[in-house]
Amino acid sequence: MCVVKRTNTTQVCSLMVIGITCRFLGCPRIGVVRHSAHLFTSSNMAKSKFEYVRNFETDDTCLRNCYIVVRLDGRNFHRFAAQHNFTKPNDNRALGLMSRSAHSVMEELEDITIAYGQSDEFSFVFKRTSNWFKRRASKLMTHISSQFSSSYVFYWKEFFEDQPLLYPPSFDGRVVLYPTNHNLRDYLSWRQADCHINNLYNTAFWTLIQRGGLNTVQAEDRLKGTLAADKNEILFSEFDINYNNESAVHRKGTTLIWEKREETVIKRMKPPGEEEKDVPVTSIKRKVQAYHCDIIGDQFWEEHPDVLENDS
């Protein structure tokens, strides 16, 4: 920092460098070398008079011993799906892209013990003992949202080869805490029940349009007030469709969990005292595995006891 003072006869220049005052540029020596107490060190900067603004931050630390659930939902995805020519009632490319993006999130944040997705939403469950980002809700939600959104764009071409991405998609998020295994299972059951209700309606709705010749208003009137049994009957009696035979990924959604798998690779090795040869090497690796099955009943949880932590 250079400070210039004007006197009657002389200009005095002072350069502050590493706590020392020196004279330069031909200026006369009018002082001695001394340490400066006014330098902006990192400590001083951190304790500046502006630091009080940190007090305006809200403490959003998630309660301990609770599962942290971050749920993402596509924003304006009805319009997004229409403009990108998604197949109705279900587009396997879009569902595959959602799962691939969720897979990317789980690989980035290994404390996510299970994730469940359907349509344009995905829920990510952090284990109760997780301390990622010091359990700050805003940090968890924004990191997952950004990782998921960027992955959706990054992997778009793998699933939509002939359909260009016309504009960036966006996802909003929320954070909810669940203290017990029972609460968490009820949450995931609620999301899977929602998947079934929506998919059954959409399957009946678009079948009436695509195969029944109705327009959207007529299809809505036909299904107004109907129960699940009524929709199943319409599909079976009029279009010979057994809803139970529809793809499980459409009816059940996608569940992602971590699983340990054995992997065997062939490596070229030279054992002591022997000639070089191919040797099979087996290792245990942790990978994300996808399931399209019922998670409302007990069977899934009995087969994967490591997903949930003990309530005690």
Amino acid, single-letter form, for residue 218:
Q
Phi (first) and psi of residue 205, to 5 degrees: -60, -50
How far from each other are the two terminal CA atoms of the chain, in whole angstroms? 61
The verdict on whether residue 29 carries a ligand-binding annotation is no
The verdict on whether residue 186 carries a ligand-binding annotation is no
The verdict on whether residue 35 carries a ligand-binding annotation is no
The verdict on whether residue 26 carries a ligand-binding annotation is no
The verdict on whether residue 119 carries a ligand-binding annotation is yes
The verdict on whether residue 74 carries a ligand-binding annotation is yes
Helices (H), 122-173: 137-154, 156-159
Answer whether 71's CB lies under 8 Å from 174's CB. Answer: yes
The verdict on whether residue 78 carries a ligand-binding annotation is yes
Annotate 96-123 with DSSP letters as a single string.
Answer: HHHHHHHHHHHHH-TTEEEEEEETTEEE
The verdict on whether residue 171 carries a ligand-binding annotation is no
Residue 73 to residues 37, 53, 148, 152, 203, Cα–Cα distance (Å): 54, 32, 11, 13, 21
List the binding residues for Mg(2+). 73-74, 120
List the binding residues for GTP. 73-78, 119-120
List the binding residues. 73-78, 119-120
